[in-house]
C-alpha cells in the first residue's frame, strides 16, 4: 500500500509538469483510472474478507447457541416485547410439546401457584418495562403437569423497531422443593407413621392449656401404650410394620377433631381441646377410649384377633396437671397401671373418674332398654314475661329416671345418646309425649303460649322428619302453631338450598323456629336473614357473667339490639339472679327462663304453678287499687 501511494504521487507530479502536460494527458488519465480501480478492488477484497470472517463468527455463535438450546439441562427462551415465545431450548419445547415452527408467537404459561390460578404475565411485563430484568420462582403449568422453576429474564440490547427482546433462563426446582417439604415434614411429623411428633403435640397441648378459661376450663390427654402379645420377652418393642398398622387403625378410629400424635416407641397420644372437653367429660373420654379398645379387639375373617393390645391412660387438667409435662406424666402413669391388665384396658389418672370408667357399657345398655320401653319423662320449665310478670310458654326438657341411678338430667347421658344415634329415637319420643301433654293442657285450660322443643341436628336431617312431625300432629289433632322448635347451629352444615327448603316447610306447617345458643357459635347476620327464624335464644355462657363482666353486658346488649333490628324475638335462659333478670330486661330481653323464676317441673305440678301465678297477680291488683 505504501509503494502504491508513492508511485501515485510521483505520477501526479509528472503529469503536473507543463512540458509533458499535453503529451501524456491521456496516458495519465488512464493510469489514474487504473489506480483508482485498484484501490476500489482492494477495498472490496478487504470488505469481503471482513464479511466472511464476521459470517463465520456469527455462524459459530449460532451453532453454539443452538447447541446450548439443545443440550442445556435448564430452559432457555427468547421472548418478544409481549413475552411471546420466539425461540426456545429443546427441553422447553419438549415440555410444551411444540415444534420449531410453532414456537413463534406462543405464550409461555408461567404462574405464581401450582394450580395455575394466578398468571404472572402482567406482573412480568410491568417489571421488565421498568427495570429490564426479573428474577424469581414460578410454576410452569400445562395440561399434563405443573413444575416449579427458578428463572431470570433480561432485556437484550437491540436497535430493532420490533424490540425489545428478552432472554429467559430457568432451572427446575421441583425436586428441590419436594426435598425441602419432606425435610420440613420430618421436623413436625413422625418419619414412620407420618403422625405429628412429640414436639408438635406438646406445643399444641401448651396452646390448649393457655386457651382454657371459665367457659372451657379443662384439657384432656390420652396416652396410648401398645403391646404385641405375640412377643413374650418385650411386648412393647413393636416392629415397624406393627406400628404402621396400629397408626392406620388409630387414625380410622379417632375423629379428626382430636389431635393424634406418636410418642417415643410404641406409644401414641391424643389431645382433647377445651371446647371438646366440656362438663361430664368423663363420659366423652370414657366413650372414646372404649371405641379405641373395641377397634383393637376385633377379629378378622378367620376369627383370629390381632396380637396388638392397647392400654390407655387419661388425665384431665387442672386436677391431673396444670402444665404440659405434668399432664402427660399423669396420663403415662395411668397407662402404665392399665397395662397391668391382661387385655386392653383404660385407666383415669384421677381415682374418682376411674371408678366411673367400667360403667359406660352398662350405661349404654340401660339407655337402649329405657328408650325401647319409653321410660324417659318430660319436665317443663316456664318462660316468664318480665313486663307482664306472667308465664308465656314452656320448654320441654328430657329426664331419665334410671332404675340404678335415679332421675338424671340430659348432660349426664346425652353425649352417649348422640354418639350412638339413639338421639333420633329419643327426639321422636319427646315430641309424641309433648303432643300428648299439650292435648291434655288444651282440654283442661292449662295451655300457655307455646311449648318449645329442642330438635337435634341428627333428627332434623332425617328424610322422614317432616312426615313424622305431620303424622304425629294429626294423631293428636294439634296444630304446629302450638310449638317452637329450637335448632342448633349444627344445621348450618347442610347445603343452603336444602336447609332453606326444609325450614320453609316447617314454617308453612306453622312451627316457630328458634336459633338456640345464639352468640356462642358461628351464626352470622346473613344466616339470620336468609333463613326463616322467628327468634333466638341467648347462649347461657353469655348470661352467666352478665353481672360481673362489662364485656359480656355489651355483647348481650348488641345481640339483643341486632335481633330487634331483624324483628326476632329474644329469650334468655339460665337466669339465676335478680340482677341478671333486671339487666337483660333493661337491654330489651323480656322473655326469660331459669331457676330465678322456676326450675323444670313435672307436668302434674303445672296446675299448681299457674294457680300461684294467678294469686300473685290478684294480690298485685288489689295493692294497686
**Residue 273 pLDDT greater than 80, yes or no:** yes
- pTM across the whole model: 0.56
Return the SS3 of 346: strand
pLDDT at position 349 = 86
Contact 581, 386 (CB under 8 A): yes
pLDDT at position 381 = 95
Non-local CB neighbours of 543 within 8 Å, separated by 6+ positions: 556, 572, 573, 574, 575, 580, 584
pLDDT at position 483 = 96
**Residue 570 pLDDT greater than 90, yes or no:** yes
> DSSP letter string over 171-219?
EE-HHHHHHHHHHHHHHHB-TTT-SB-HHHHHHHHHHHHHT--SSS---
Cell of 290: 372404649
**Residue 374 pLDDT greater than 50, yes or no:** yes
Across the range 209-222, mean pLDDT stands at 87
**Residue 4 pLDDT greater than 50, yes or no:** no
**Residue 476 pLDDT greater than 80, yes or no:** yes
Across the range 170-193, mean pLDDT stands at 75
Q: Which residue has the higher pLDDT, 127 or 45?
A: 127
Computed over every residue of the chain, the mean pLDDT equals 82
For strand 601-602 and strand 146-156, is the pairing parallel, antiparallel, or unpaired? unpaired
Compute the distance between CA of residue 15 and CA of residue 35 in angstroms, rounded to an integer. 14
E strand or H helix that includes residue 44: helix 25-71
Return the SS3 of 545: coil
217 — pLDDT class (breaks 50, 70, 90): confident
Amino acid at each position: 500500500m505504501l509503494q502504491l501511494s508513492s508511485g501515485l504521487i510521483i505520477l501526479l507530479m509528472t503529469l503536473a509538469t507543463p512540458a509533458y502536460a499535453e503529451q501524456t494527458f491521456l496516458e495519465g488519465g488512464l493510469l489514474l483510472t487504473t489506480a483508482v480501480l485498484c484501490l476500489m478492488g482492494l477495498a472490496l477484497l478487504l470488505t469481503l474478507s471482513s464479511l466472511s470472517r464476521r459470517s463465520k463468527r456469527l455462524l459459530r455463535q449460532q451453532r453454539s447457541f443452538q447447541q446450548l438450546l439443545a443440550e442445556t439441562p435448564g430452559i432457555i427462551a427468547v421472548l418478544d416485547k409481549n413475552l411471546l415465545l420466539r425461540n426456545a431450548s429443546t427441553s422447553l419445547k419438549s415440555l410444551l410439546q411444540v415444534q420449531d415452527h410453532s414456537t413463534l408467537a406462543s405464550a409461555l404459561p408461567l404462574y405464581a401457584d401450582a394450580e395455575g390460578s394466578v398468571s404472572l404475565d402482567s406482573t412480568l411485563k410491568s417489571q421488565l418495562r421498568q427495570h429490564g430484568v426479573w428474577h424469581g420462582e414460578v410454576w410452569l403449568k400445562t395440561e399434563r403437569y405443573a413444575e416449579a422453576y427458578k428463572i431470570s429474564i433480561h432485556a437484550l440490547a437491540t436497535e430493532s423497531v420490533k424490540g425489545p427482546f428478552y432472554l429467559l433462563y430457568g432451572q427446575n426446582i421441583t425436586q428441590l422443593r419436594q426435598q425441602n417439604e419432606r425435610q420440613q415434614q420430618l421436623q413436625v411429623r413422625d418419619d414412620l407413621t407420618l403422625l405429628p411428633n412429640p414436639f408438635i403435640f406438646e406445643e399444641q397441648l401448651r396452646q390448649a392449656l393457655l386457651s382454657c378459661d371459665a367457659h372451657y376450663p379443662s384439657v384432656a390427654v390420652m396416652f396410648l401404650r401398645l403391646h404385641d402379645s405375640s412377643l413374650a420377652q418385650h411386648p412393647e418393642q413393636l416392629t415397624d410394620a406393627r406400628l404402621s398398622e396400629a397408626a392406620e387403625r388409630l387414625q380410622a378410629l379417632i375423629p379428626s377433631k382430636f389431635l393424634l400424635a406418636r410418642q417415643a416407641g410404641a406409644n401414641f397420644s391424643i389431645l382433647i381441646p377445651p371446647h371438646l372437653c366440656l362438663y361430664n367429660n368423663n363420659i366423652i373420654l370414657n366413650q372414646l377410649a372404649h371405641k379405641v379398645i373395641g377397634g383393637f379387639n376385633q377379629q378378622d375373617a378367620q376369627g383370629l384377633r390381632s396380637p396388638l393390645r392397647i392400654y390407655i391412660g387419661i388425665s384431665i387438667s387442672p386436677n391431673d396437671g396444670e402444665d404440659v409435662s405434668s399432664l402427660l406424666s399423669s396420663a403415662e402413669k395411668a397407662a402404665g397401671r392399665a397395662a397391668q391388665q391382661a387385655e386392653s384396658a383404660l385407666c383415669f389418672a384421677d381415682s374418682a373418674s376411674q371408678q366411673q370408667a367400667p360403667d359406660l357399657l352398662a350405661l349404654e345398655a340401660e339407655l337402649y332398654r329405657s328408650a325401647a320401653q319409653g321410660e324417659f319423662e318430660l319436665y317443663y320449665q316456664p318462660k316468664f314475661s318480665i313486663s307482664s310478670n306472667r308465664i308465656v310458654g314452656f320448654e320441654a326438657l328430657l329426664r331419665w329416671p334410671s332404675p340404678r341411678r335415679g332421675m338424671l338430667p340430659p348432660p349426664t347421658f346425652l353425649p352417649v345418646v348422640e354418639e350412638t344415634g339413639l338421639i333420633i329415637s329419643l327426639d321422636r319420643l319427646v315430641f309424641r309425649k309433648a303432643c300428648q301433654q299439650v292435648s291434655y293442657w288444651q282440654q283442661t285450660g292449662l295451655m300457655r303460649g307455646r311449648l318449645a322443643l329442642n330438635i337435634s341436628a341428627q333428627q332434623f336431617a332425617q328424610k322422614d322428619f317432616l312426615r313424622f312431625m305431620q303424622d304425629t300432629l294429626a294423631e293428636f289433632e294439634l296444630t304446629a302453631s302450638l310449638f317452637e322448635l329450637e335448632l342448633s347451629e349444627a344445621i348450618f352444615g347442610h347445603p343452603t338450598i336444602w336447609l332453606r327448603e326444609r325450614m320453609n316447610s316447617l314454617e308453612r306447617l306453622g312451627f316457630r323456629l328458634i336459633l338456640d345458643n345464639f352468640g356462642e357459635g358461628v351464626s352470622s347476620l346473613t344466616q339470620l336473614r336468609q333463613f326463616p327464624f322467628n327468634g333466638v335464644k341467648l347462649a347461657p355462657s353469655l348470661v352467666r357473667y352478665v353481672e360481673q363482666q362489662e364485656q359480656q353486658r355489651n355483647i348481650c346488649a348488641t345481640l339483643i339490639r341486632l335481633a330487634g333490628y331483624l324483628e326476632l324475638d329474644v329469650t334468655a335462659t339460665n337466669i339465676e339472679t335478680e340482677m341478671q333478670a333486671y339487666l337483660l330486661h333493661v337491654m330489651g330481653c323480656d322473655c326469660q327462663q331459669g331457676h330465678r323464676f322456676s326450675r323444670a317441673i313435672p307436668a302434674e305440678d303445672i296446675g299448681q304453678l299457674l294457680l300461684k301465678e294467678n294469686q300473685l297477680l290478684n294480690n298485685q291488683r288489689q295493692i294497686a287499687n
